[in-house]
Amino acid sequence: MAGSQNPDVPAMFPEETGNAMELFLAMGDISKYQDKRLLAALSETGVNPAQYSYLSILCGCGEMKLHELAQRLHVKNPTASVTVKRMEKLGLVIRRPDPDDSRVLWIAATELGCLRFGQARGILSDYLTQIFGDFSEKDVSLLYQLLCRIRENVKNYIPDFEGDLKARGCVRKAVQGG
């Protein structure tokens, strides 16, 4: 795959990458297939993966402030606010202002939200069993360790990737779709 049959045509991938390129391409395929299949599986519950994360915390921990929820999810407050508003329209959560500070919002999962979370959790459990059912605990542990190393290497490859994009004016274009 790394080499080219025609010496006048450059190889698509550098020769020295060897199996690393195969692994890189396989990871992309896994991500693409996982997203499609998981979305399809969860669609019957009416909960998408992001909402699943929110409901997991709210159903497990109970009511909390919006900024605390955002911190636990490692997202910014505006992102959490938009997602919570959408979930409120679906009847999955309720929002209420803090009686002592109107700038603060308290968020709680509704009964419907926890019911849908339970359904989605069962589907996710079946999904993970299907994917990893023939892996030993040792295989899963090793794979997890290797993927964590890859994740860190990717994060560290360009330490200030977002800042670099902002400096070049790319963030606004990407957000605006152009």
pLDDT per residue, tens digit, the chain (178 aa), is 444 456 665 566 666 667 888 888 888 888 888 878 888 888 889 999 899 999 999 999 999 999 999 999 999 999 999 999 999 999 999 999 999 998 899 999 999 999 999 999 999 999 899 989 999 999 999 999 998 898 888 878 766 655 555 555 544 444 444 4
Q: Do both 52 and 118 map to the same domain?
A: yes
For residue 156, the enclosing domain spans 136-178
Q: Do both 18 and 51 map to the same domain?
A: no
Q: Do both 10 and 32 map to the same domain?
A: yes
pLDDT at 7: 62
3-state SS, residue 136: coil
Q: Do both 129 and 95 map to the same domain?
A: yes
pLDDT at 152: 84
Q: Do both 80 and 113 map to the same domain?
A: yes
Q: Would you give the distance in Å from CA 32 to the centre of its chain?
A: 12
The token pair at 26 is 């396989």
pLDDT at 175: 42
Number of domains in the chain: 3
Q: Do both 98 and 178 map to the same domain?
A: no
Task: Report yes or no: 101 and 121 within 8 Å, Cβ to Cβ.
Answer: no
pLDDT at 117: 97
- d(C-alpha 95, C-alpha 29), whole Å: 38
- d(C-alpha 123, C-alpha 40), whole Å: 11
For CA atoms 66, 72, 119, 111, give the dihedral sign. Answer: negative
Q: Do both 60 and 116 map to the same domain?
A: yes
